[in-house]
Amino acid sequence: MFPLEYWGSIFAIANVPTGILGIDFSQYYELHVDSRRTQFINPASNIKVTGLKARTDVYRITGLMPDIPVEFQTLIARFPTLTKPIEDLTLVTDRVAHYIITKGPPVATRSRRLAPDKLAFAK
């Protein structure tokens, strides 16, 4: 990654299948995250580090904010599905097709000025 002396932090190593670096890490070290290229970018030195995309199962979205305003606590309590993944993605199996039946050629005309009476009415 970046030079080791760059971080100045103590990291805890956990026995988890994928590593996790949160947005607080990138904010603290003023790193930019390029999600398209899976890179951490240090704008001060223009050092770029490319990561790997990991396939993981998402079990739920969890917010770890001790000072959540009461309005958000109430909203999450009212709508608990906001922080839970969609479990049942049913596939559409019926093959419904909608058609609009038209008669004659397509209607097309050059643009032109409105007649004075129609222009007055439109205004």
Question: b or e along 56-88 (b: 16 or more beta carbons within 10 Å of the residue's beta carbon)?
Answer: eeeeeeeeeeeeeeeeeeeeeeeeeeeeeeeee
d(CA 50, CA 107) in angstroms, rounded, equals 54
Does 60 map to a domain? yes
pLDDT in tens, 71-98: 888 888 888 777 776 666 667 777 888 8
pLDDT in tens, 11-69: 666 677 666 777 777 888 888 888 888 888 888 888 888 877 777 665 556 666 667 78
Does 44 map to a domain? yes
Does 101 map to a domain? no
Does 36 map to a domain? yes
Does 68 map to a domain? yes
Does 50 map to a domain? yes
Does 114 map to a domain? no
Look up the domain containing 28 and give its range: 4-83
Counting the structural domains of the chain, the total is: 1
